């Protein structure tokens, strides 16, 4: 029996320095792989996500991607979007439109555009936002250290293809020291239908970034995600809804507690008809080779 081989890259997303962002496995030439094979590969890579590049079925798209965690398929995720685009471009692909890619995935078509300095940014998908009622807010507060939640920006469940419970803390230091009660948070995540908690807080003087963010997983996946595009997209959309933007652009640091140094760049494009919100960052390739199975 002959082994099957496909091209493979492992990239590090939201960083220009290897090993400081969020790793992603990208499998090329995946049209002949079954869903079961994709899930088995994703389970084996043991990364937060593995993506599979396929020919698009929509004529507007440059490519189609399927995104898998170790246990399930996702309709959208942020760092896989940027990481897959980087791997495709580095492989020699020429976009249909210079400086712009269109990704086809479970939530539809996602534009990705080139920014200064080699960074790329994706357009945040539309988000469904549901504020927590008083009872859930009280349960959330009880799961945290006393007095750290900033209720001037009420916690909300935000779903842009990945459902997050987004809460603002008073300071970045509160975010870094946060250790919520796991049992309480697991119950709250189940009750709100969210993957986990995206918690953020401001840095004094916007140094080293405007906000510190952590993404703590309490659903089918557990643990802490190093740098999270979907959570940052959820936050960016929520800030707009709550009238709490820090300006037309801001930066987020994520992964600090895990020894990473992720940087996410958010830009609000209010001068176009569709007024998109862009979530950007750098990506570097760490491993390149052939996947054999």
Instruction: Please check whether residues 114 and 221 belong to one and the same domain.
Output: no
Kindly report, residue by residue over 162-208, the tens digit of the pLDDT: 999 999 999 999 999 999 999 999 999 999 999 999 999 999 998 99
| Given the residues 36, 49, 60, 73, the one annotated as active site | 49
pLDDT score at 275 = 77
Same domain, 119 and 170: no
- d(Cα 139, Cα 188) in Å, to the nearest integer? 8
Tell whether 155 and 274 lie within a shared domain: yes
Q: Is 146 exposed, middle or buried (0-12, 13-18, 19+ CB in 10 A)?
A: exposed
Q: Do residues 216 and 161 both lie within one domain?
A: yes
Question: pLDDT at position 253, please?
Answer: 98
Q: Is the pLDDT of residue 139 over 70?
A: yes
Q: pLDDT category, 270, cuts 50, 70, 90?
A: confident
Position 237 scores a pLDDT of 97
Angle between helices 134-143 and 182-192 (to 10 degrees): 150
Q: What six digits make up the tokens of 229?
A: 């595009």
Are residues 228 and 147 part of one domain? yes
- Are 154 and 272 in the same domain? yes
Note if 224 is an active site residue: no
* 192 and 286 share one domain: no
DSSP labels, 61-129: -SEEEEEE-SS-EES--HHHHHHHHHHHHHTTPPPSBTTEEEEEETTEEEEEEE-GGG-EEEEPPP-EE
Question: How many structural domains does the chain have?
Answer: 2
Q: What is the mean pLDDT of the chain?
A: 95
What domain range is 256 assigned to? Answer: 128-278
Q: Are 217 and 274 in a shared domain? A: yes
For residue 247, name the pLDDT band (cuts at 50, 70, 90).
Answer: very high
In the numeric block, the tokens 């897959």 are attached to 84
Same domain, 200 and 287: no
Q: Is the pLDDT of residue 266 over 60?
A: yes
> Do residues 154 and 269 both lie within one domain?
yes
pLDDT digits (tens, 9 = 90+) for 213-245: 999 999 777 899 999 999 999 999 999 999 999
Q: Is there a single domain that holds both residue 37 and residue 98? A: yes
**Cα 198 to Cα 279: distance, rounded to the nearest angstrom:** 16
CATH of the domain at 118: 3.10.310.10
Query: Are residues 142 and 94 both part of a single domain?
Result: no
**pTM of the full structure:** 0.94
Looking at residue 222, its pLDDT comes to 85
């Amino acid at each position: 029996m002959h082994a099957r081989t496909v091209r493979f890259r492992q990239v590090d997303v939201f960083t220009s320095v290897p090993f400081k962002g969020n790793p992603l496995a990208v499998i090329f030439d995946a049209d002949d792989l079954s869903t079961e094979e994709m899930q088995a590969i994703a389970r084996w890579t043991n990364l937060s996500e593995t993506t599979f590049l396929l020919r698009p079925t929509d004529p507007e798209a440059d490519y189609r991607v399927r995104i898998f965690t170790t246990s399930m398929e996702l309709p959208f995720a942020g760092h896989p979007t940027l990481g897959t685009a980087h791997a495709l471009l580095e492989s020699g692909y020429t976009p249909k439109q210079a400086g712009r890619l269109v990704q086809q995935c479970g939530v539809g078509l996602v534009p990705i555009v080139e920014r200064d300095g080699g960074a790329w940014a994706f357009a945040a998908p539309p988000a469904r936002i549901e504020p927590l009622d008083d009872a859930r807010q009280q349960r959330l507060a009880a799961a945290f250290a006393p007095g750290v939640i900033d209720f001037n920006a009420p916690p909300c469940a935000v779903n842009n293809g990945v459902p997050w419970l987004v809460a603002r803390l008073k300071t970045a230091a509160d975010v870094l020291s946060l250790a919520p009660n796991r049992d309480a948070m697991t119950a709250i995540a189940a009750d709100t239908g969210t993957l986990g908690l995206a918690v953020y807080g401001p840095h004094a003087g916007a140094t080293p970034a405007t906000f510190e963010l952590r993404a703590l997983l309490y659903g089918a996946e557990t643990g802490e995600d190093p740098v999270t595009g979907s959570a940052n997209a959820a936050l960016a959309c929520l800030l707009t809804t709550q009238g709490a933007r820090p300006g037309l652009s801001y930066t987020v640091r994520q992964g600090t507690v895990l020894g990473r140094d992720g940087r996410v760049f958010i830009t609000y494009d209010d001068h176009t008809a569709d007024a998109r919100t862009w979530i950007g960052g750098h990506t570097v390739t760490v491993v390149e080779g052939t996947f054999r199975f």
